[in-house]
């Protein structure tokens, strides 16, 4: 049976499952302190109707998409710098008086339910909602799912790769492009996590004896360790834009 579509405004009891789904789908460091992560639950509080959930017949969360309304004039040059900035603006300053677009910050599908069309369904639902709440459509700082295998390749190069069949190399970027989205540019520092080296060492399970770029499993780019005893992970994303799609 197709899972039912709901959201956190209608079913707030799904919140712990939403946290668990996102947490299990990302490397642990992705939820560490950052300007955006500090405000993640603020997004749930302020914009519960934009937290889309697909729930099976037993009340289990199968997939989710987290978004919020933003101002955006439709040009690549006016895009926010990335997910940190979107969250700071939307949570600290509230919804824009006239939302122009929806920004989708995360899409997660339970591993056992992948490649079943749930991600596409959530993206399509967001496009329908944008027709009402954000007429310029849906903008997404995409985290390409295979990029952690190629951390040394610049994200611009990676995003332009195609496979032998001519389709976009990255499966998640491909889903967006084949749904009709266009790439708008790169969010070079979408999410920035800066922590003492000791915390990164505990996470990695081995010492980081000196400054430099270090391999970070699950990271899209290496971890940069500085002379000041801190390691900084600067996540790049790829901005894509889906047009709004009125319900037929
Ligand atoms: C990104 C994500 C939401 C996509 O969900 P999905 O259900 O896999 O989406 P799709 O069905 O569009 O699959 C995308 C591609 O990956 C492939 N794929 C998905 N799951 C797969 C699996 N378990 N094994 C092999 N291929 C798989 C699909 O076949 C598809 O490839 P295709 O274009 O050749 O058909 C999901 O992989 C996920 O939750 N990942 C972890 C969280 C994350 O990285 N989110 C994105 C950043 S916010």
At 7-27, the pLDDT tens digits run: 999 999 999 999 999 999 999
CB of 187 within 6 A of ligand 1: the answer is no
Q: Kindly give the distance from the C-alpha atom of residue 114 to the centroid of ligand 1, in angstroms, as a whole number.
A: 6
CB of 174 within 6 A of ligand 1: the answer is yes
Count CB neighbours of 15 within 10 A: 17
- Domains, the chain, in order of start with CATH, read 4-193+233-242 (3.40.630.30)
Q: What is the pLDDT of residues 212-235, one digit of tens each?
A: 999 999 999 999 999 999 999 999
Asked whether residue 248 carries a pLDDT value surpassing 90, the answer given is no
Q: Kindly give the distance from the C-alpha atom of residue 229 to the centroid of ligand 1, in angstroms, as a whole number.
A: 37
Asked whether residue 151 carries a pLDDT value surpassing 90, the answer given is yes
| Residue 247: C-alpha distances to residues 55, 124, 175 (Å) | 21, 10, 21
Tokens describing residue 162: 């195609």
Tally: H helices and E strands in the chain: 7, 9
Cβ atoms of 19 and 12 closer than 8 Å: no
Residue 155, C-beta contacts closer than 8 angstroms, at least 6 positions apart: 144, 147, 186, 188, 220, 221, 236, 237, 238
Asked whether residue 130 carries a pLDDT value surpassing 90, the answer given is yes
Confidence at residue 1, expressed as pLDDT on a 0 to 100 scale:
79
pLDDT category of residue 81 using cuts at 50, 70 and 90? very high
């Amino acid at each position: 049976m197709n899972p039912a579509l709901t959201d956190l405004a209608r079913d707030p009891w799904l919140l712990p499952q939403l946290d668990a789904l996102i947490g299990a789908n990302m490397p642990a460091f992705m939820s560490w302190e950052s300007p955006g992560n500090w405000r993640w639950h603020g997004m749930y509080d302020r914009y519960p109707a934009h937290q889309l959930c697909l729930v099976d017949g037993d009340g289990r969360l199968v997939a989710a998409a987290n978004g919020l309304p933003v101002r955006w004039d439709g040009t690549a040059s006016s895009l926010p710098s990335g997910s940190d900035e979107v969250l700071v603006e939307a949570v600290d300053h509230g919804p824009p008086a006239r939302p122009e677009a929806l920004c989708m910050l995360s899409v997660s599908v339970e591993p056992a339910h992948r490649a079943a069309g749930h991600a596409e369904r959530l993206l399509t639902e967001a496009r329908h909602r944008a027709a009402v709440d954000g007429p310029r459509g849906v903008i997404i700082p995409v985290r390409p799912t295979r990029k952690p295998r190629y951390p040394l390749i610049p994200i611009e190069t990676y995003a332009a790769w195609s496979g032998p069949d001519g389709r976009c190399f990255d499966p998640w970027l491909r889903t967006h492009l084949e749904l009709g989205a266009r790439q708008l540019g790169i969010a070079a520092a979408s999410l920035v996590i800066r922590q003492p080296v000791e915390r990164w060492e505990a996470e990695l399970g081995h010492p980081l004896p000196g400054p430099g770029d270090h391999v970070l499993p699950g990271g899209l780019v290496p971890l940069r360790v500085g002379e000041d005893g801190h390691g900084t992970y600067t996540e790049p994303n790829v901005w894509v834009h889906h047009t709004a799609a009125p319900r037929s």
